[in-house]
Amino acid sequence: MKALAIEAARFSRRNTLSAIGGLVGLLIVFTAVAAPFLAPRDPLKADFRRMNKPPDAQSLLGTDQVGRDTLSRVIYGARTSLFVAFSAVILGTTVGSLWGVACGYLRGRFDLVSQRIMEIMQSFPDLILAMAISMAIGTGLPAVIFAIAITRIPFGGRVIRSVALSVREMPYVEAGRASGASALRVMTFHVLPQCIAPYLVLATTHLGVAIVIEAALGFLGVGVPPPTPTWGNMLADSITGLVPPWWLAFFPGLAITVTVLAFNLLGDGIRDTLDPRLSPAFLRMMTGGRRA
């Protein structure tokens, strides 16, 4: 525990901005988790006496067309949006990474076919693929998570694959193989640990992307269905009539921006720390370049 604290302190000193990002991110996560306690009102409760009120003492961020409190909805929106983003990134990156380990270690036909499949997956622009999938399997929360997760798989796959490729040549891995351990054992105990650092970098880098995709899906009307508040939904719902109430259009977008910013900064710092080599080639792969 103490060692972790020391590491964190050292990290913060060297990457102040990133640490701030991490702190903000933590705050947002905390808000999301503690939503029921922090939100002043039930986000789903309509109050017909206070419809369309601008920000005032009673509703700090105003109310919407049926009198629901915007602040509460933004807080609960954090809950949904973060839950979707975290789940999708963890699911997608994990599946992709495991797949990548298998590819990198086993090579051969499995690798070849897998590469083609991943390439096919990456041939679709993110949002379009997520849109089609989530519309195909229904528009519930799990569907959206699943759809976004699928778009993250190939990234994890390619990066971890190249890590596995290089790790596999290392002497201790060879030793493991020579001692007669099964491929599965070698992959699990020798290759996998080496992948944790890049995995972390991947996950934090893609968190922001996942949040934006989820919001875009909500904005286009094909994301998590109402009345569950998500930041994207709220933006879409705000465009009613000629000039929408500014507070409905502004705050959810601001929330998205701050959150993505925080996680991006954090991701930058983690990447700088965990991977000092930071060659452009590696960088490219992180952000999804095509050359493995």
Please report, as ranges, the residues that interact with other proteins according to CB under 8 A: 44-46, 48, 51-52, 65-66, 68, 116-117, 119-120, 122-128, 131-133, 135-139, 208, 212, 215-216, 219-222, 225-227, 235, 237, 239-244, 246, 249-250, 253, 256-258, 260-261, 264-265, 268, 278-280, 283-284, 287-291
Residues contacting residue 71 through CB under 8 Å, at least 6 positions apart: 39, 40, 59, 60, 61, 251
Closer residue to other proteins, CB minimum distance, 176 or 198: 198
Minimum gap (Å) between residue 87 Cβ and other proteins: 20
Minimum gap (Å) between residue 8 Cβ and other proteins: 21
Minimum gap (Å) between residue 229 Cβ and other proteins: 11
Closer residue to other proteins, CB minimum distance, 46 or 181: 46
Closer residue to other proteins, CB minimum distance, 199 or 219: 219
Minimum gap (Å) between residue 136 Cβ and other proteins: 5
Minimum gap (Å) between residue 254 Cβ and other proteins: 9
Do the beta carbons of residue 199 and residue 97 sit within 8 Å?
yes
Q: How far is 118 from 49, CA to CA, in rounded Å?
A: 53
Closer residue to other proteins, CB minimum distance, 150 or 186: 150
Closer residue to other proteins, CB minimum distance, 32 or 235: 235
Closer residue to other proteins, CB minimum distance, 177 or 288: 288
Q: How far is 16 from 262, CA to CA, in rounded Å?
A: 12
DSSP state string for 209-275: HHHHHHHHHHHHT-SSPTTS--HHHHHHHH--SSS--HHHHHHHHHHHHHHHHHHHHHHHHHHHHH-
Long-range contacts of 173-181 (CB under 8 A, 24+ apart): none
- What six digits make up the tokens of 157? 């796959």
Residue with tokens 């990457």: 15
Q: Which of 168, 27, 158 is nearest to 93 (CA)?
A: 158
Minimum gap (Å) between residue 102 Cβ and other proteins: 19
